[in-house]
Structure 1
């Protein structure tokens, strides 16, 4: 989270003040116009206040929850059968600003100055990035904003209609009318804007797609999957229900309640059965040459893991075989803290079937 951004620190209190003003003033004016001495007062205003409280709770959570960042010196683990690669050269994605590998779906935020896990977008209205750990709070916040807006606009509309209907019997209170008009003037644009945003993120939630994946990549991700390079549309789409559960939790009865995101946000299952494979190319596997080099090194040799990865797969001055012979075995060669490598890793991983692959996740 970005804590030293002055505009952000000013925007967040402004949003909270706006929510408080609309919620309180609308209830006071509507109560004075419609519900004085009415038995329906509690039935109308208790649910509204509960919605506003949940709205504020989720807003606080999305503002203050760290979306998650790629750990320093993180490298693709050896047991990972699939990972994202660059389109241009099929090398593992690497952030030169952070000098670190990017995990699947992570992106560098220039405002937060780090690579954010499953980054959706940086939102100035929350002074934070929307990412892996707080996306569920963001969805719930949008949900409660919509419910609260519809509720309040409905109350205001009935109150104004009642005021006009009874204007001959009861004089219009100008101050009350001005406050109602101001509430509507503030509430209606918010209702339209948040409704449009909610529709888009409902689509993203149901397809397990982030805003960045939708805009910059055309929803196509280049991955290395089972020893082959594939460009796949919606590779993380595992079905609508599973997609929603991965963000809002496994129990549908608790989706509307704040929940902490589970998992580390570094690995995501790829389900080719729900994807459209656009291109597939076999990659020659020369991992034995890489493994031999490491195996022949003395066991007491200290290897800078991060530098090895960076030099092998990101240094433009080097000329590795084309395409880059990056296999699970070669990843294990350079990711292992030991100079010894299990030369059978590639055979074991390449022979696993879809059922065994699913157990990795």
Structure 2
């Protein structure tokens, strides 16, 4: 039995190592799709349409100009959001963090000073993480205390603040400090891929109607490939976008939605408006860019991933 458990642990470790190794490959794959799409839309189709028969100022030229402007705008926002997710640390547990109350379990009794007053108190908690009610959550893998809504990521090998999931596409965990950027990445990916799908649809239809299409076999292949890839991404990303919007509306994460018991109440659900503000900030002019206002960063502790307002009147046993 012991040997079987060791083999299972080894297999899981190898799986997590493999996911970490996908990092640069996934980034190159995303950039590859962008390059193919850019070539098909700008270089092959709508760039030349600006100076098609009718000249600049014609109807076809105006349509091409509008498509190109919108395409570049959405592409810029998509890449900005994407690299914000990739390069932003989702949030880790500060070494100096100590809880005042057990926020995760709803325990309103303050922890005594002896529990965290010295190294002996902390050592006792470390040695006995399975005691019935130690007053805090504890990570056996990281060997430290866990803030509310914090979870351990086996791929990253650490605890992540308000962890939602580990995303291989962004080569990073999605957590407290980059969840907004991830949502914007989904939004702009859906808008961009939808625009590309619609703009290349006439060329795709002409391809199957045996109409005479100008261009080399390579340019025709790039148009076909870009259409198929963007259609597939638009359909798949739409499902993820709808799911995450519903999660934000209820102030929960993917992990919490999976782990929490079925209930009509959730202690962190403060109403749709406040729930969205906890992710996007209070200034709506910042909602659609991967950044926060200085005032929100200063006045909203929730954006730091350690403290979350909750409904104190709800019994913790309901969750």
TM bucket by the smaller chain? 0.7 to 0.9
Instruction: State the partner residue of 2:248.
Output: 205
Instruction: State the partner residue of 1:250.
Output: 282
In the superposition, the TM-score normalised over structure 2's length comes to 0.73
Q: What's the CA shift for 1:278?
A: 7.6
Q: What's the CA shift for 1:250?
A: 0.9
Gap runs ≥5 in structure 1:
221-231, 281-361
Does 2:81 align with 1:42? no
Q: Residue 106 of structure 1 contacts residue 116 of structure 1 at CA under 8 Å; is this kept in 2?
A: yes
Q: Residue 153 of structure 2 contacts residue 160 of structure 2 at CA under 8 Å; is this kept in 1?
A: yes
Instruction: State the partner residue of 1:84.
Output: 104
Q: Which has the higher strand share?
A: 1
Q: Residue 146 of structure 1 contacts residue 195 of structure 1 at CA under 8 Å; is this kept in 2?
A: yes
How big is the alpha-carbon RMSD for the aligned residues of Structure 1 and Structure 2? 2.9
Spell out, residue by residue over 1:126-155, the C-alpha distance to the aligned partner (whole angstroms, 9 max, x if none). 111000000010000000000001100000
Shift of the 47–109 alpha-carbon distance from structure 1 to 2, 3 Å rule, reads same
Does 2:224 align with 1:184? no
Instruction: State the partner residue of 1:288.
Output: none
Instruction: State the partner residue of 2:308.
Output: 268
For the residue of structure 2 that corresponds to 1:84, the secondary structure is coil
Q: Residue 151 of structure 2 contacts residue 163 of structure 2 at CA under 8 Å; is this kept in 1?
A: yes
Q: Which has the higher helix share?
A: 2
Instruction: State the partner residue of 2:78.
Output: 55
Report the more deviating stretch, 256-265 or 157-166. Answer: 157-166
Q: Residue 164 of structure 2 contacts residue 175 of structure 2 at CA under 8 Å; is this kept in 1?
A: yes
Shift of the 256–8 alpha-carbon distance from structure 1 to 2, 3 Å rule, reads same
Q: What's the CA shift for 1:171?
A: 5.1
Shift of the 219–23 alpha-carbon distance from structure 1 to 2, 3 Å rule, reads farther
Distance of 2:83 and 2:207 partners within structure 1: 36
Of residues 203, 206, 217, the one that matches 2:260 is 217
Distance of 1:258 and 1:57 partners within structure 2: 7
In the superposition, the TM-score normalised over structure 1's length comes to 0.65
Q: What's the CA shift for 1:165?
A: 7.8
Q: What's the CA shift for 1:197?
A: 0.8
Spell out, residue by residue over 1:230-280, the C-alpha distance to the aligned partner (whole angstroms, 9 max, x if none). xx842111111111111112122321112148332111000257x6x5847
Does 2:165 align with 1:142? no
Of residues 30, 33, 36, the one that matches 1:15 is 30
Shift of the 111–90 alpha-carbon distance from structure 1 to 2, 3 Å rule, reads same
Shift of the 219–272 alpha-carbon distance from structure 1 to 2, 3 Å rule, reads farther
Shift of the 107–157 alpha-carbon distance from structure 1 to 2, 3 Å rule, reads same
Does 2:274 align with 1:259? no
Instruction: State the partner residue of 1:31.
Output: 46
Distance of 2:210 and 2:232 partners within structure 1: 28
Distance of 1:198 and 1:257 partners within structure 2: 16
Q: Residue 194 of structure 2 contacts residue 230 of structure 2 at CA under 8 Å; is this kept in 1?
A: no
Q: What's the CA shift for 1:120?
A: 0.4
Report the more deviating stretch, 56-65 or 178-187. Answer: 178-187
Q: Residue 190 of structure 2 contacts residue 234 of structure 2 at CA under 8 Å; is this kept in 1?
A: yes
Of residues 54, 71, 80, the one that matches 2:94 is 71
Q: Residue 153 of structure 1 contacts residue 188 of structure 1 at CA under 8 Å; is this kept in 2?
A: yes
Distance of 1:266 and 1:164 partners within structure 2: 56
Q: How many pairs align?
A: 260
Gap runs ≥5 in structure 2:
1-16, 56-60, 108-129
Instruction: State the partner residue of 2:237.
Output: 194
Distance of 1:8 and 1:156 partners within structure 2: 31
From the CA coordinates, give the structure whose radius of gyration is larger.
1
State how 1:311-326 maps to structure 2 within 5 Å. Answer: none
